[in-house]
Amino acid sequence: MMTTINTPLTDWQYVPLEANQIACWWLGQAGFLFRSRDISFIVDPYLSDSLAVKYRHAQFKHVRMMPVPVAPSDLTGLDWVFVTHEHTDHMDGSTLWDLLAANPDCHITAPMATEQRLIHDMGVERARVTLVDRDQHVQLSPGLAVHVIASAHETLEIDEAGHCACLGYMVELAGTRIYHSGDCVPYEGLSETLKALHIDVALLPVNGRDATRTGHGILGNFHFEEAVSLCCDAGIDTLVPHHFGMFDFNTVDPAVLQAKIEGLDGCLQLVVPQLDQALLMDGSS
């Protein structure tokens, strides 16, 4: 069972944890910060306004609806950064450069398909990057294992080298198995793959998709109902929905989301993340 406590993100290193506990903070969009007693990592951090600059003359302005919750340079003590794919709200050069500068021993885990952009274009040092692909199981460090799962950002995209463009990660830490899909929609075989991994908590994007957004190159994700169904089918007990509240053209109404949650039949625990609120997971429960 997941519980929550109101604690500022700036205090993330000071929340007391038992050996089998993990604390997690939402950073907005698909970004999350995780800490056990021994290991800390971050997934898909977008902690800048670089998209607003990039698209300032475009139809969809990418202006943040929520503030940057913490400066990446203030997040010291990180061991790993996980990147799910190369879209800027998941792999933001400005954020990554500042994180790596503030954390000299921190390494990035990213899809092989991002190698050109991450290493050659952004200039991230190759020695600090672990490149992975679907169906791999990697022991990143003592106490931190990851199983890599293909994600379909509307489609299962494979590059010319045969690498999957979008990935999800099942991270096993402190007795808890956590699945972060990155951007994803349902695809054949996904629920069976997840069920075999005995996942405890899933973090899934629920901003949905439609022809209008897709027609403008804005690829979509699970509808909320699809995320719930996936968890129930895969035997996942807890769902943390995300990927909303960042850009006005690509979000869901929190009131509508809450109404849908209240209408569920109780097949799983649903926890809607909030800024400056820690999600606590207990691997012994």
Nearest to 169 by CA among 41, 274, 283: 41
Of the pLDDT bands very low, low, confident and very high (cuts 50, 70, 90), residue 79 is very high
Residues 6+ apart with CB under 8 A from 113: 85, 86, 133, 159, 161, 163, 164, 165
Q: Given its phi and psi angles, is residue 280 left (phi above 0), alpha (psi -120 to 50 degrees) or beta? A: beta
- The pTM assigned to this predicted structure is 0.96
Domain 22-273+278-282 = CATH 3.40.630.30: no
Q: Is the pLDDT of residue 104 over 80?
A: yes
End-to-end CA distance of the chain: 7
Residues 6+ apart with CB under 8 A from 30: 43, 44, 46, 84, 89, 90, 180, 182, 183, 203, 205, 242, 243
The whole-number average pLDDT for the span 183-193 is 98
Chain centre distance of CA 221? 13
In whole angstroms, what is the distance from residue 285 CA to residue 273 CA? Answer: 21
Residue 64's pLDDT is: 95
The overall average pLDDT reported for the chain is 94
The whole-number average pLDDT for the span 123-146 is 97
The whole-number average pLDDT for the span 133-147 is 96
In whole angstroms, what is the distance from residue 14 CA to residue 11 CA? Answer: 5
Q: Where are the domains of the chain?
A: 22-273+278-282
Q: Is the pLDDT of residue 279 over 90?
A: yes
In whole angstroms, what is the distance from residue 111 CA to residue 82 CA? Answer: 9
Q: Is the pLDDT of residue 285 over 60?
A: no
Collapsing DSSP states into helix, strand and coil, what is residue 224?
helix
Collapsing DSSP states into helix, strand and coil, what is residue 252?
coil
Residue 162's pLDDT is: 97
Q: Which residue has the tokens 């099942």?
A: 170
**Residue, of 70 and 213, whose pLDDT is higher:** 70
Residue 214's pLDDT is: 83
pLDDT tens-place string over residues 215-269: 878 888 999 999 999 999 999 999 999 999 999 888 998 888 888 888 887 779 9
In whole angstroms, what is the distance from residue 170 CA to residue 177 CA? Answer: 6
pLDDT tens-place string over residues 20-62: 999 999 999 999 999 999 999 999 999 999 999 988 888 888 9
Query: Any idea which of 89-103, 138-152, 258-272 has the lowest mean pLDDT?
Result: 258-272
- Residue 118 phi, psi dihedral angles, 5° rounding: -70, -45
The whole-number average pLDDT for the span 98-103 is 98
In whole angstroms, what is the distance from residue 84 CA to residue 102 CA? Answer: 21
DSSP state for residue 9 in the 8-state scheme: G
In whole angstroms, what is the distance from residue 147 CA to residue 170 CA? Answer: 5
Of the pLDDT bands very low, low, confident and very high (cuts 50, 70, 90), residue 86 is very high
| Strand order, beta sheet including 144-150 | 137-141, 144-150, 167-173, 176-180, 201-205, 238-242, 269-270
